[in-house]
Amino acid sequence: MTSNNDVESLMLPNGVRTKIMATLAPPPVSDRLDSSGNVRRSHMDLTGGREGILHYLPWWCFQKKFVHEDVEKLYQEYYHKQKQRDTVWVFVAAAIFTAYALCLQCISDLSLSDWTDKRIALVLCCLVNVVAVLFFLFLELKISEAVWAIVPFVAWAMFYAQVFLDAVFDDRITNWTDALGWTLVLVYVIYVLLPLRMYSCIVLSLITSLTHIVLIAIDLPSSSLILQVIANSLLLVGANLMGAMSHVFTDKKHRKSYLETRTAMRVKLELEERTREQERLLLSVLPEHVAEQIRNDIGEVVDGQFKKIYMSRHENVSILFADIVGFTAISSTYSAADLVQILNELFARFDKLAEKFHQLRIKILGDCYYCISGAPQERSDHAVLCVHMGLSMVDAIKYVREKTKSPVDMRVGIHTGAVLAGIFGQRQWQFDVYSKDVELANKMESGGKPGRVHISEKTFAYLRGEFEVEPGDGSSRDETIKSSGLKTYFIVKILKPYPNGTLDIGSGQNADNVLEETRTAEEIATKEDTKMLEDAKHSEENYRKRLFQEQEMRGKKRHLYQTCNPVTLRFKQKQMEDEYNSQMANPVDEATASAPIVNLLGTLAHMLVLPRTVASYLTLCFGNILILVLSLISISPAFPKRIPQSVTQLGKNINESFVKRHLWIFLIVVILVLVNVLNMVLCESSYSDHQVLSINASAADVTTTVKRVSSELCANPQYFTSYSVLVLLAITVLLHVSYLMKLGLVAAITVLQTYANVVCLTVPFAVSDLTGFGPQMTSAISRKYSLSAMLGSIGLALLFINRHMEAATRLLFKWKKEVEEQKGQVDQVMHKTVTLVYNILPQHVANIFLKTNMRHDELYSQSYTEVGVLFASMPNFSDFYTEESVNNQGLECLRFLNEVISDFDALLKEERFFDIIKIKTTGATYMAASGLNDNVTLQGDGSIRERWAHLDRLTQFALALKDTLQKLNAESFNNFILRMGINHGPIIAGVIGARKPHYDMWGNTVNVASRMESTGKAGCIQVVEETANILKEFGYEFEQRGMVQVKGKGHLMTYYLIGRNQRSPSTSTK
């Protein structure tokens, strides 16, 4: 397709975004078919369609417009803007004409006595043209639209006034006949270069043509009036047709360019939106410095022995853990949607508090929320901010307590120390922190009390008397705290209200947001969406402005010259030049229709004013037939149902080949020129059969003789030059022909016609000079020279026009390549976005976020009745982990942990584990689940083996984890052991926060699975009795452990998995 010049404010509400994107992009194919299967018109369609060449003929151009009025209006503004740049070439052509006319005036009369009446006007006109060219071409002055409304008419009037002045100042009797060549060019220029609609072009060209005809009628003697008026009219009709065809082809080209510009705008909109979405999703779970590293590394190949780890160490960091006390009890009494809504409301408040108190949210573990302060940006007030955060969280839980009518509360623990922060593994990335101090902070929470903020003595040392505290006696409630020898405290009250005692004092950063944390998630969403709506109010108005900015940027030829040779206009890269030539190879070349039109009108004009002999008739007829056949072959692919397939295939082969197309056009032009040359030879020979006229005879004698044999003598040789002008215009119409070839053809025709005028048509022009100049013949320039000079000047003007038209075409191609590159960028960004989303959320959940723009009140939640949950941890990793200089303060230990988790993640790529989903990792604990794949459905209730096949695969996955860890132990000479727990049953899964998505699951099934791991034995997989009974159906063997105390569930009978009977059938395939 969108400025995109870059487009801003793209995160728009769905309604506004949909409306804009619908305007930018065409509707899908299904929406473009009616009930009968026929193509329905869309706002991108054009009215007045016809099959074949009729689709492009000028008389249908009035109906060529987009069906949708707004789209057509935008296009017309775009087209007008593009054509404004063409106006400069009108003045260039006018300047060339004025220079030609001035030179003729000076040469015809070398005296300076006539400057006041003949030359001053032309000099002034020439100066005006030069100033106009400089004004438009170099100064690039801004011109208002009101001025532009009259500029085209002024340009036309100035050009025609110069042609008129030249004819008026000419002393010849047939001055207006000689002005026919430049009049033909002016008519053509009106259609091609002026920024006007077709009807305006037709009006101006008719005024120009009719004025010329009227002046001829006044100027010419009555004896030759009618025939020459008709002949000139035919040639003017030809120029009008050439101009109209060029106008239609140019309009078609610009409509295509317009759609490509709109596509580019849409692509940029999508690119920026996807980029923002990628950024938002990354920053929702990862800090900016880590996200930047990951984004740069996506798709890169990592060399080395170890997989890349994104981890960094931070000193003097305060770590906060907060747990909802009593949440497990209420999770079983609410539906999935309600439970996720409650958590979303609560954690949305926590996120706003974290933003206020400069906390970096690490992750959400079920109903546990933890964050840090002082990293990655160091802050001296990190401990004070953490305590304010904890106290505010205790206040915020009142919302849940009131909504659920249950005695839930917050238990908060804070400790200060060093952390290693980063991500582990290759899937389901979640930012985490790891260190001995993090473990202590966790124990500060579990060893605290509901409704209180429990801090360590290290945190207390950074509070600087900002809070009143009392002894916390955490060692009496937790063995880890006791063994560490830490003193603990409870916060009693705030002595210095926030922001006093922090770096925020005096900044005013949060002065107006004291009540912000009391807003609900819905209110937060409403506020954000209201802001987006305000930002989007002018989006549709800005779209037009952005589109024009895009066009302005693209319309500069200097951008073309960066990739093209400024002389030949060939692209510097051969591949790009080949692609351009290939693009120009259209199956149908309608422009070749200009050749038979030119030849037919030239033939009719010849029959009126040139010798009517049998030889001339045969030449003209044969030439018309031959040119018609060649042109029809080029056009034949437009009529596949009416012309034999062999002919249409020949036309396609010619048009689609760069070499064949140019040779074909060259052959057509050669025939056009050859017909004209043969007729010039016949014109010269027409005098040999009649009385030989003496060149030195008196003008009266010559005139009398010419009148007597005018029907057989070549009395109007100037029409050969006029015909050549029409041929040059026909060459200009050929948009699919190289500018260099046009240059060669124009130069060749000009030289050939000049040679014919000077050498071959000596006698006819001598007679024409005597009849045209009369008594002034001795002081005038012969018409064979003046007409040759006219043709040369016209060729020069058309050279500039042809070069300009090819530059515009190549610029369009360059735009197309840019659009394709932008589409490629979109594909890359979308690929990265999908990769990131799949590494943040499970695939079945990520698909929902990729298909829709979710808002805070459009949360994802789902209840599952039969899910398997696995927890696997390395209990002896804590013994392996040390924070000494020899292992880079613990970083090398975590590097090994990253290898373990990455290899665990690699197992998920195996087909046998297709429905196992990694939920998260917490330190050295790995959590996975099965039965969450919505694509796997069962017929009816199903047997146990059918319903719980995924639990079998989850168990196989647990055994594969053991094997993987053993291989790593063997390679690294370590002795790590997995302790695992598996449980099955109903769970509630969902995403907390659509703007900051975090996927998790809740319920007794999850809690029991976690307890099976934490109360189990290293190297074993522990399950409850119900899970063991199901797995026995799959051939697994167990040994009874006995009754185990499980928090919240009492005593449960548990079993250790021994192994599996090898004769049992596998369920590891889909």
Helix (H/G/I), strand (E/B), else coil: 512 = coil
Catalytic residue list contains 535: no
d(CA 946, CA 1065): 12
Q: How high is the pLDDT of residue 697?
A: 44
d(CA 392, CA 382): 15
| Confidence tier at 760 by pLDDT (50, 70, 90) | confident
Q: How high is the pLDDT of residue 709?
A: 43
Under 8 Å between Cβ of 775 and 703: no
| Confidence tier at 55 by pLDDT (50, 70, 90) | very low
What phi and psi values does residue 636 have, to the nearest 5 degrees? -55, -35
Q: How high is the pLDDT of residue 1003?
A: 83
| Confidence tier at 299 by pLDDT (50, 70, 90) | low
d(CA 891, CA 308): 12
Strand pairing partners for 1046?
1050
d(CA 708, CA 587): 54
Residue 313: closest CA among 426, 436, 135, 469 = 436
Q: Which residues does 746 contact at the CB level (< 8 Å), separation at least 6?
A: 728, 731, 795, 798, 799, 802
> Could you tell me how far CA 836 lies from the centroid of its own chain?
21
Pure H helices in 170-224: 175-178, 180-193, 198-219
* DSSP one-letter code for 59: G
Q: How high is the pLDDT of residue 1018?
A: 92
Q: How high is the pLDDT of residue 77?
A: 76
d(CA 33, CA 39): 5
Under 8 Å between Cβ of 236 and 209: yes
- Of the spans 566-570, 707-711, 812-816, 937-941, which averages the highest pLDDT? 566-570
* DSSP one-letter code for 67: S
Catalytic residue list contains 323: yes
d(CA 246, CA 564): 25
Burial of 69 (0-12, 13-18, 19+ CB in 10 A): exposed
d(CA 294, CA 1045): 43
Please report where in the chains the tokens 């409870």 appear, as a residue: 490
Is 70 exceeded by the pLDDT of residue 941? no
d(CA 426, CA 412): 31
d(CA 480, CA 446): 11
Strand pairing partners for 39?
33
Q: 346 vs 342, 351, 392, 945, CA distance in Å?
A: 6, 9, 12, 40
Helix (H/G/I), strand (E/B), else coil: 927 = strand
Q: How high is the pLDDT of residue 271?
A: 72
Q: For the chain, what is the mean pLDDT?
A: 78
Which run of H or E residues covers position 972?
helix 949-972
d(CA 813, CA 257): 9
Q: Higher-confidence residue: 529 or 180? A: 180
DSSP secondary structure string for all residues of 723-741: HHHHHHHHHHH-TTS-HHH
Is 50 exceeded by the pLDDT of residue 694? no
Is 70 exceeded by the pLDDT of residue 385? yes
Catalytic residue list contains 827: no
Q: Higher-confidence residue: 723 or 614? A: 723
Sign, Cα dihedral of 374, 377, 379, 384: negative
Strand pairing partners for 470?
490
Q: How high is the pLDDT of residue 726?
A: 92
Q: How high is the pLDDT of residue 102?
A: 79
Average pLDDT in the 398-402 region? Answer: 79
Strand pairing partners for 998?
992
pLDDT 10s digits, 411-427: 999 999 999 988 888 87
Residue 466: closest CA among 398, 538, 383, 546 = 383
Average pLDDT in the 821-828 region? Answer: 76
State which amino acid sits at residue 477: R
Q: Which residues does 852 contact at the CB level (< 8 Å), separation at least 6?
A: 858
What phi and psi values does residue 183 have, to the nearest 5 degrees? -65, -40
Q: Which of 267-271, 565-569, 717-721, 1047-1051 has the lowest mean pLDDT?
A: 267-271
pLDDT 10s digits, 434-475: 899 999 999 999 999 999 999 999 999 999 889 999 999 999
Please report where in the chains the tokens 């703007």 appear, as a residue: 995
Under 8 Å between Cβ of 449 and 484: no
pLDDT 10s digits, 550-607: 666 655 555 667 778 888 888 888 888 888 877 776 655 677 888 888 889 988 988 8
Catalytic residue among 323, 381, 478, 504: 323
Which run of H or E residues covers position 926?
strand 925-930
Strand pairing partners for 1050?
1046
Please report where in the chains the tokens 């305007």 appear, as a residue: 23
Which run of H or E residues covers position 1002?
strand 998-1002
| Confidence tier at 1066 by pLDDT (50, 70, 90) | low
Q: How high is the pLDDT of residue 502?
A: 84
State which amino acid sits at residue 612: R
Structure tokens at 27: 């509707």
